Amino acid sequence: MLTALVNARVLGDAGFIDAAAVLLDGARIIDVAVASDARVRAARIVDLEGLTLAPGFIDCQVNGGGGVLFNDTPTVEGIARIAAAHRRCGTTGLLPTLISDDASTMRAAMAAVRAAIAGNVHGVLGIHLEGPFLAAQRKGIHAADKFRVPTEADIELIGAGDAGKVVMTIAPEQVATDTMHALTARSVILSAGHTAATYAQTRAALDAGVRGFTHLFNAMSPLQSREPGVVGAALEDRSSWCGVIVDGHHVHPATLQVALAAKPRGKVFLVTDAMPPVGADNNTFTLNGETITCRDGKCTNAAGVLAGSALDMASAVRNTVNLLGVAVDEALRMASTYPAAFLGLEMTHGRIAPGYAADLVALDAGMQVRRTWIHGVRAD
């Protein structure tokens, strides 16, 4: 029997559709219909009582959640706890993100993601390796002693092709062009971040296959009058995507508005860069031997260096509306449609349309999450 989600304000490609019915057949959406459609009358009815129904959020940068840091627990169980914590905040698809670490931890993380996908852990789309091929000058909270140059063994591990969507954050000046070509040939999505590259180096990396920029503005060479830097190349380029952390701490709202004005629509998407406190009661955790404390949504070490965030995706959507003045429908797309496109999932995820995954989130008027579905299965 089909399931019909009725009495909802449905996010469509051109805006909201009022009083629509979304028809689900198991894990797929089969249509967006009117309430009088005969298929709706014959279906199992779920009344959403006027809630807003959007594609489930997709988060390409999730270091942790539910009290778990992926680096410390690179296991299927750790991934499942992280995914469950973020699902409560509307995230139905994510990439567990490994902060720069040694080769053995990278291997464990890749193996865990492969096993999680094979075991149908709901919400796992792949993995994000944020390093270790980064620049010490822009290390942020990463441990510079983990940084290194990629080897042939690294290329084989990262590009094995059986861990879903693989995003690799690199500093372009630390990775040879031939290595970038080798990784992209294996369908690895390269993103520039934690980099001191010049504009020219960044342009060359874009030509070599870099597809995006990791937490734009943070941990990268800035836009200046005579040296546009990584930021200048990112804002100028029409094809690449930029992930942004909209938590009120990482980037000033005016700076983010500049990015939205510069980039084509659909090329800026939301990430959380979330750490273990998301979905947990404890506001401290340990990273690289340092105690990280989260206060008022801001995670820092004792020296005040930002260490990821305590942001969840629903909060990022609300912040995008309230701090940046973005319309609600566009903020929701920045959390779903646009990251799906960055990952190359634009034909299966990120829209409420026939044939798309039944990964959905229902929110109230205040953009608080009330219900979620992954593969058509509800859990909230």
Q: Which residues are catalytic?
A: 273
Identity of the amino acid at 21: A
Backbone torsion region of residue 55, taken as left when φ is above 0, otherwise alpha when ψ lies between -120 and 50, otherwise beta = beta
Beta strands 91-99 and 268-270 are: unpaired
28: phi then psi, degrees, rounded to nearest 5: -125, 150
- Let me know how many helices (H) and strands (E) the chain has, helices first: 11, 22
- Around Cβ 131, how many Cβ atoms within 10 Å? 28
Q: Is 302 exposed, middle or buried (0-12, 13-18, 19+ CB in 10 A)?
A: exposed
Residue 273 CA to residue 135 CA, distance in Å, equals 19
Three-state secondary structure call for residue 287 = strand
Contact 189, 166 (CB under 8 A): yes
Contact 230, 202 (CB under 8 A): yes
Q: Provide the H-helix boundaries in 53-186.
A: 76-87, 103-118, 152-158, 177-185
Contacts of 154 (CB under 8 A, 6+ apart): 103, 106
- Around Cβ 79, how many Cβ atoms within 10 Å? 27
H or E segment and range at residue 260: helix 253-262
Contacts of 25 (CB under 8 A, 6+ apart): 2, 3, 376
Beta strands 68-69 and 64-65 are: antiparallel
Spatial CA neighbour of 278 closest among 312, 253, 252, 254 = 312
